[in-house]
Amino acid sequence: MRHTAILVLLLLSTLARSTCYSVATLPFGGPDEKAHFEYVASMGQTRGREIRGGERHQPPLYYLLAQPFYAAAERQPTAIQLVVVRQLSIWLGVLHVLLAFLAARRLFGNEPLLSLGPPVVIAFLPAHTALSAAITNDMLANVVGAGLALLTISTLHGGPAKWTLPLLLGLALPAALAKFTVYPILAASAAAIAWAHWRRPALRPWLLAALLALVLTAALALLFAAPLVAQAAQLPRLQRLVTEELTAERMQGFLRAPFRGYAVQMLRSFVTIYPVDSLWLPWPVYAAVAAGCAWALWGLVRLWRGAGIGAPDHSCVPGCRAALWYCAAAVLLQGLLALAGFYHSQSVLAAQGRYFFPVLVPLSLLFCAGLYGAAPGYAQRTLLWLAASLALLDLGSQAYGFVVTYLWERPV
């Protein structure tokens, strides 16, 4: 009950902070927000017959969900329309935090650092708060990714249930219609759930039936809605990548690329807010984050080798180890996708932390498990320090960002 009360406060805080930032963010200040808003507006104005804007290649689900918000403010000035349509992202952000809590509690039970840590990390990550305050389909991809993580962790932890495969198929559809950044975690989840079913001979027929259903659905979708499928799967882009961009010369350039700049830019955009591109926080902030990650990695190794995970006397057994493998696989696959983006553009500017956000739940679970493993006797204090420092980082960097942003008059 205590945990639930704390969670409610965390969700209220997330809601209040995101709303605050959504009102204060510059018009079209989110990542590619103008193009995303044009998608929403043109879909609303033409009833979906003509989609305009630089993001018109994106799958349509987020923009469909945004229609009620757009309709509510259609006759208002653009500045008000933006604030109203941003509400969708805000609520998706709150849902993301809730799903992180459910996944963490399912895996680790009531231990405070392990069950409340992951939602705290997501709720107070400044880049996540900033993204929640902008019109972008990234937020839908994040929530679908979190849903997939919850389903997979539940399956690996407690074993497959009757509804696991239908739910996976049910989540695959919004995943396909959200954004291609959710594909890595979809692949990892599908593989993990299939493995969990395959291990139990009694469930193998169900797995084969689900595969058959998937193949049939894909065939029907291609038959009746090939353009939509192609758009959702970004097939033209993939085709260009295979036929035009995978060249030996380009690969050599990629391997010679300055990865240090890429890593620094990735860390910066993962931690701090997006809308102010010129915003660099003092370097000790990034150094502290990097040190925290290294500390957690060491703790994870320590936990893995010790008696914590896999010991016969705690509730995490037997699925905990498998679930953490799944988390690591999802994060690694997402990293490969991010590297592919770097290869595609051959530019450091392609390093954007938000491409990792669909795996924020697995990532934060690993991070908090690592913090726990590093100092198990100080879990309660670690959680408090983590929450306080992230809250300070979030409030401080957002406030600093807005002061810098608004030093000069901007068009409304």
Partner 1 sequence: MSRILPASVVLGMLPAMLLAGACLWLPVDVPAAASRLGANTELGLAEGVEWTQEVRVTGESLSRVAVILADPARGPDRPVVLSVRMDPAGPVVRRAEVRTARLYQGAVWDIAAGRRDERWTEFSFEPLPVAPGMTVYISLTAPGTPPEQAVRALANFGPRRGRAELTQNGRQISDLEGNLLYRTYERGTVGGLLAVSWHNLTRGKPGFLGVGGVYLGLGALAAVTTGLFLRALAGLGAGHGSASLP
**Which residues are at the interface with partner 1 (CB under 8 A)?**
2, 5-6, 9-10, 12-13, 15-17, 19-20, 23-24, 76-77, 79-80, 83, 108-114, 116, 277-278, 307-309, 311, 313-316, 320, 349, 372, 376-384, 387-388, 391, 395, 402-410, 412
The DSSP result for 161-190, as a single string, is -TTHHHHHHHHHHHHHTT-GGGHHHHHHHH
Q: Is there a contact between 357 and 142 (Cβ–Cβ < 8 Å)?
A: yes
CA distance linking residue 360 with residue 125, whole number of Å: 10
Least gap, CB of 158 to partner 1 (angstroms): 15
**Residue number, 3 or 204, with CB nearest to partner 1:** 3
Q: Between 38 and 111, whose beta carbon lies closer to partner 1?
A: 111
Cβ atoms < 10 Å from Cβ of 21:
26
Smaller CB separation from partner 1, 214 or 321: 321
Of residues 88 and 387, the one with the C-beta less far from partner 1? 387
The SS3 assignment for 25 reads coil
Position 91, amino acid: W
Kindly provide the b/e burial profile for residues 160-181, where b requires at least 16 CB atoms within 10 angstroms of the residue's own CB: beeebbebbeebbebbbbbbbb
Task: Give the whole-angstrom CA distance, residue 155 versus residue 152.
Answer: 5
56 vs 314, beta carbon nearer partner 1: 314
Cα four-point dihedral sign 86, 92, 94, 100:
negative
Kindly state the smallest distance separating residue 203's Cβ from partner 1, in Å.
Answer: 28
**CB of 376 vs partner 1, minimal distance in Å:** 5
Determine the 3-state secondary structure of 388 from DSSP.
helix
**How far is the C-alpha of 248 from the C-alpha of 23, rounded, in Å?**
48
Cβ closest to partner 1, residue 308 vs residue 335:
308
The nearest distance, CB 410 to partner 1, in angstroms, is 7
Q: Are 148 and 185 in contact (CB under 8 A)?
A: yes
The structure tokens 């896999």 sit at 310
For partner 1, give the closer residue by CB, 37 or 183: 37
Q: Which is nearer to partner 1, 17 or 96 (CB)?
A: 17
Q: Which is nearer to partner 1, 124 or 326 (CB)?
A: 124
Give first-to-last CA distance, the chain, whole Å. 45
Cα 327 from chain centre: 13
Q: Which is nearer to partner 1, 30 or 184 (CB)?
A: 30
How far is residue 342's CA from residue 360's CA, in Å, rounded to a whole number?
20
Q: How far is the CB of 75 from partner 1 (least distance, A)?
A: 13
Round to whole Å and give the CA distance between 112 and 18.
24
How many other CB atoms are there within 10 angstroms of residue 389's CB atom? 15
As given in the structure block, the two tokens for residue 375 are: 């100092």
CA distance 287 to 267: 10
Q: Give least dist CB 76 to partner 1, A.
A: 8
Q: What is the 3-state secondary structure (H, E, C) of 259-324?
A: HHHHHHHHHHHHHCCCCCCCCCCCHHHHHHHHHHHHHHHHHHHHHHHCCCCCCCCCCCCCHHHHHH
Q: How far is the CB of 210 from partner 1 (least distance, A)?
A: 32
Nearest CB to partner 1, comparing residues 61 and 327: 327
DSSP state of 245: I
CA angle 63, 364, 143 (to 5 degrees): 15
Smallest distance, Å, CB 81 to partner 1? 10
In angstroms, give the least distance from the CB of 149 to partner 1. Answer: 19
